[in-house]
């Protein structure tokens, strides 16, 4: 059965695939990314070994998840931080809503975080009358446009500088050109006061470091650093899969994340935070809260075949590598996590029934798997999801009957031969009448964008018999 | 929020789900060989660090005495607009900064202000291979290295370590992560490429980073 999300996906995919301006913008962005990543990999003497080591580190963490989360929790609490475990999005939101209400919070500054998108945190806080400002430039831009992020690393990838300039002229002061320097300066001015005025800074976490009891944040702009230095409360939201065993693992994970994410060798600011301001420290928040979010992750953990999907470090490389993502664009997926990783993950987070169609939003070329810095077997997981969808979801009677008929036909050489004769005749007939791709063509989904080949009169078996005699 | 924490019923539920899930074994990934993944770092750490700084658009000034360091500080501040400079209250910095004519706010007297024109701090280590400055709360706080448009770091030659691995070994040996609620690895200037992947220097943090490295005599 096709869900409404699937129908909407097909509609938007067709629209975006034909949008030439969109394709140009994405091509420009991703070409520049490819160039940069190519250079970045040269800083490694053995990129493949780096990938294997990262996969080992994440395997170790995910397959001992309880142990490392408890170690992380204990160390954060020892520094006076709070750790809250949330089973689902609602519990996580509720905790933060209660926190901002009880502390009389008016203004929240937010660093870039996909998990806060996943739990729809900003809109929940806004309903409570709290102003929430995204401070990452890309997120700030899409927030002004009231759009979700287009990409997990580059939220405004779909916009040209002219689009952004138009937006800023409308919403901000002092913008006269579409020079990136001027646009960045305008955003800096607009957000500068907010950093100093905000009561709460909300961030995600790129890693939760178990042996240090610290969260690791990676940012180029410095916005996450201001969010965690100036407001009096810091709230970090992280999926439970973000944990890693040791601080020293970052010596490899940081360069690998940066290289796969942007092509930089190291992102400008790699920051570790382990608690609120300690006695003797000059600044930092009075309160530090970490929310450990499950929200479907333990279900994925329970499937040893697909458990490695939890290794993902959200670098975005598979999105950039995916021919489908590049054609249909990030918003078409209508998911928090788009692209190959999102197509694998979303059926687990939101249900296989409504989201299995994403398993088919792939050419199975395997480019995603080959670029993944933690070696997640993404395209095979798309196949696993397809198989699971067949096993676990309901199907129309037509599909069931068709496959039974197909199986019956394939089980006998005579029936197969007969079906071939009928098929060849039908294709010739349809081609001759020019019906291919029209409304009455039952194969229309396939043939409206493709022409059927000329079909020979005789089958391979008939030709063989003719040339080699009966055997 | 103590009450919320004691009533965190989901904690046990999540842990129980994790433990139940892990009863099924996952296949181990292809083993790593644990051969080096980065090229070896050259013996001359200063030259390596110099090249990395240039690649990261950071300024490096090498000095040979406290007098030269004070001179380098003065020179670095000449191109900074007049205004308050925030300085980590450390004895070596007191020595070099006291001769400056600019208004100074010492870290012992409060946090850097919104209009600070520059900040001056020490560091925990400098990573030669990557051109990274390691700072922590005890080096001018969390804001000291990020709030102003210009960050000047005063470091000693002995603080140079070859690579990130050595930097983490140093953190462990000196218990720096235990002692500080914040540890930052800074590699270059604040930047963004969110508009058409065009790199713009100076987003929310410093657009200028100067390292004044004093050689050990």
Partnered with residue A239 across adjacent β-strands are: A293
Interface test with A, best of B87, B142, B167 (most A CBs within 10 A): B142
Mean predicted confidence (pLDDT) in A358-367: 95
Strand ranges (DSSP E) for B112-172?
Answer: 118-121, 125-127, 132-136, 150-156, 160-161
With tokens 């450990």, the residue in question is A292
Distance between CA atoms of A238 and A113, rounded to whole angstroms?
Answer: 9
Interchain CB distance below 8 Å, B146 and A183: no
The 3-state secondary structure of A1-53, one letter per residue: CCCHHHHHHHHHHHHHHCCHHHHHHHHHHHHHHHHHHHHHHCCCCCHHHHHHH
Gap between the Cα atoms of A91 and A93, Å rounded: 5
List CB contacts of B94: < 8 A, sequence separation 6 or more.
Answer: none
Name the percent of chain A lying above pLDDT 90.
Answer: 85
pLDDT at A459 over 70: yes
Nearest to B200 among A53, A180, A192 (CB): A180
Residue A318, SS3 per DSSP: helix
User: Burial level of B29, CB count in 10 A (0-12/13-18/19+)?
Assistant: buried
Facing residue for A220 by CB, picked from B13, B28, B192: B192
Inspect the interface and report whether the beta carbons of B5 and A84 lie closer than 8 Å.
yes
pLDDT tens digits for A5-18?
Answer: 999 999 999 999 99
**Does B217 have pLDDT greater than 90?**
no
The mean pLDDT of A302-328, rounded to a whole number, is 97
- Mean pLDDT, residues B117-145: 97
Task: Tell me the pairing of strands B118-121 and B200-201.
Answer: unpaired
User: Nearest CA to A264 among B197, B100, B170?
Assistant: B197
Question: How confident is the model over A441-458, as pLDDT tens digits?
Answer: 777 888 888 887 788 888
> Hey, how many other C-beta atoms are within 10 angstroms of the C-beta on A174?
11
Predicted pLDDT of residue A453: 79
Q: What pLDDT is recorded for position B102? A: 87
Q: Is the dihedral of CA A280, A281, A282, A284 positive or negative?
A: negative
Instruction: State the helix-helix crossing angle for A413-433 and A397-410, rounded to 10 degrees.
Output: 120
Sign of the alpha-carbon torsion through A201, A205, A206, A212 = positive
β-bridge pairing B85-87 and B104-106: parallel
Q: What is the pLDDT of residues B200-213, one digit of tens each?
A: 999 999 999 999 99
Best mutation site among B197, B201, B209 for testing chain A: the one with the most A CBs within 10 Å? B197
pLDDT at A432: 84
At A182 the pLDDT is 95
pLDDT at A391: 86
Interface of A with B in 50-69 (CB under 8 A): 50, 52-53, 55-56, 59, 62-66, 69
Residues of B in contact with A243 (CB under 8 A): none
**What pLDDT was estimated at residue B1?**
45
Measured CA to CA, the distance from residue A73 to residue A304 in angstroms comes to: 25
| pLDDT, tens only, A418-438 | 999 998 988 888 888 888 788
pLDDT score of A45 = 98
pLDDT confidence of residue A470: 67
Query: What average pLDDT score do residues B175-181 get?
Result: 96
Q: What is the mean pLDDT of residues B111-138?
A: 96
B63 three-state secondary structure: strand
Question: Is 70 exceeded by the pLDDT of residue A126?
Answer: yes
- Contacts (Cβ under 8 Å, ≥6 apart) of A438: A444
Crossing angle between the packed helical segments A250-261 and A20-41, to the nearest 10 degrees:
140
In this complex, the residue of B20, B169, B204 whose CB is nearest that of residue A222 is B204
Residue A74 contacts B, CB cutoff 8 Å: no
Q: Confirm if A21 and A155 have CB atoms less than 8 A apart.
A: no
* CB nearest to A79's CB, from B140, B141, B181: B181
Q: Does domain A43-295 have CATH number 3.40.50.970?
A: no
- In this predicted structure, the answer to whether residue A384 has a pLDDT above a threshold of 80 is yes
Give the gap in angstroms from C-alpha A379 to the nearest C-alpha of chain B: 16
Q: CB–CB of A283 and B143 under 8 A?
A: yes
Q: What are phi and psi of A218, to 5 degrees?
A: -115, 125
Q: Contacts of residue B182 in chain A, CB cutoff 8 Å? A: 228-229, 271-274, 281, 284
Domain ranges of chain A: 43-295, 408-468
Q: What's the confidence (pLDDT) of residue A2?
A: 65
Whether B4 shows a pLDDT value over 50: the answer reads no
Length of chain B: 217
Distance CA(A400)–CA(B76), nearest Å, equals 76
Binary contact (B22, A66; C-beta < 8 A): yes
Q: Is the pLDDT of residue A31 over 90?
A: yes
Give CA A38 to chain center in angstroms: 22
Neighbours of A437 (CB within 10 A): 16
Question: pLDDT tens digit string along B147-166?
Answer: 999 999 999 999 999 999 99
Average pLDDT, stretch B72-96?
92
Answer whether B124's CB lies under 8 Å from B92's CB.
no
- A63 to B171: CB separation less than 8 angstroms, yes or no: no
Mean pLDDT of A398-407: 91
Angle between helices A137-144 and A180-197 (to 10 degrees): 90
Confidence of residue B3 (pLDDT cuts 50, 70, 90): very low
H/E element, A317: helix A317-321
Query: A300 φ, ψ to 5°?
Result: -65, -40
Task: Give yes or no for B188 touching A (CB within 8 A).
Answer: yes
């Amino acid at each position: 059965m096709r869900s409404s999300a699937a129908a909407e996906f097909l509609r938007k995919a067709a629209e975006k695939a034909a949008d030439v301006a969109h394709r140009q913008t994405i091509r420009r962005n991703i070409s520049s990314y490819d160039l940069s990543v190519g250079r970045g990999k040269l800083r490694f003497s053995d990129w493949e070994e780096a990938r294997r080591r990262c996969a080992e580190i994440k395997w170790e963490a995910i397959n001992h998840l309880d142990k490392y989360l408890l170690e992380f929790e204990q160390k954060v609490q020892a520094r006076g931080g709070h750790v809250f475990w949330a089973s689902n999005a609602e519990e996580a939101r509720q905790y933060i809503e209660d926190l901002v209400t009880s502390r009389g919070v008016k203004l929240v500054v937010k660093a870039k975080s996909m998990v806060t998108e996943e739990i729809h945190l900003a809109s929940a806080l806004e309903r409570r009358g709290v102003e929430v400002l995204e401070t990452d430039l890309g997120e700030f831009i899409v927030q002004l446009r009231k759009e979700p992020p287009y990409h997990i690393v580059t939220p405004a990838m779909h916009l040209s500088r002219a689009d952004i300039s138009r937006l800023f002229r409308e919403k901000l002061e002092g913008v006269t050109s579409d020079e990136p320097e001027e646009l960045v300066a305008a955003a800096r001015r607009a957000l500068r006061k907010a950093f100093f005025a905000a009561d709460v800074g909300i961030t995600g976490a790129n890693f939760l470091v178990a042996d240090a009891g610290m969260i690791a944040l990676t940012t180029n702009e410095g916005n996450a650093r201001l969010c965690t230095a100036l407001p009096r409360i810091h709230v970090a939201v992280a999926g439970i899969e973000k944990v890693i065993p040791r601080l020293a693992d970052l010596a490899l994970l940081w360069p690998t994340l940066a290289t796969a994410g942007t092509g930089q060798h190291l992102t400008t600011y790699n920051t570790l935070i382990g608690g609120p301001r300690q006695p003797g420290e000059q600044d930092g928040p009075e309160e530090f809260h970490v929310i450990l979010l499950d929200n479907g992750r333990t279900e994925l953990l329970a499937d040893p075949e697909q458990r490695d999907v939890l290794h993902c470090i959200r670098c975005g490389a598979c999105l950039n590598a995916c021919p489908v993502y590049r054609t249909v664009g990030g918003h078409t997926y209508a998911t928090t996590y788009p692209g190959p990783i999102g197509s694998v993950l979303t059926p687990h987070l939101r249900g296989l029934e409504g989201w299995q169609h994403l398993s088919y939003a792939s050419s199975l070329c395997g480019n995603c798997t080959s670029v993944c810095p933690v070696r997640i077997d993404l395209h095979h997981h798309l196949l696993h999801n397809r198989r699971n969808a067949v096993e676990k979801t309901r199907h129309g009677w037509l599909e069931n009957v068709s496959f039974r008929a197909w199986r019956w036909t394939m089980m006998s050489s005579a029936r197969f031969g007969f079906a071939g004769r009928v098929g060849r005749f039908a294709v010739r007939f349809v081609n001759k009448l020019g019906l291919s791709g029209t409304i009455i063509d039952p194969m229309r989904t396939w043939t409206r964008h493709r022409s059927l080949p000329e079909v020979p009169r005789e089958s391979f078996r008939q030709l063989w018999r003719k040339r080699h005699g009966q055997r | 929020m103590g009450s919320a924490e004691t009533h965190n019923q989901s904690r046990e539920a999540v842990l129980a789900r994790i433990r139940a899930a892990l009863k099924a074994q996952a296949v181990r990934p292809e083993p790593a060989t644990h051969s080096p993944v980065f090229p070896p770092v050259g013996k001359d750490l200063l030259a390596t660090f110099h090249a990395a700084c240039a690649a990261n658009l950071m300024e490096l000034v090498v000095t040979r005495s406290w007098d030269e360091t004070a001179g380098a500080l003065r020179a670095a501040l000449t191109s900074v607009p007049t205004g308050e400079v925030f300085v980590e209250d450390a004895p070596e910095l007191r020595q070099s900064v006291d001769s400056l004519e600019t208004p100074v706010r010492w870290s012992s007297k409060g946090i850097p202000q919104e209009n600070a024109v520059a900040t001056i701090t020490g560091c925990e280590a400098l990573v030669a291979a990557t051109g990274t400055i390691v700072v922590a709360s005890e080096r001018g706080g969390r804001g000291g290295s990020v709030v102003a448009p210009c960050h000047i770091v005063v470091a000693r030659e002995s603080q140079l370590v070859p690579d990130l691995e050595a930097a983490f070994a140093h953190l462990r040996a000196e218990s720096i992560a235990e002692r500080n609620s914040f540890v930052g690895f800074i590699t270059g200037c604040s930047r963004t490429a969110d508009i058409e992947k065009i790199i713009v220097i100076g987003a929310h943090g410093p657009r200028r980073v100067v390292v004044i490295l004093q050689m050990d005599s």
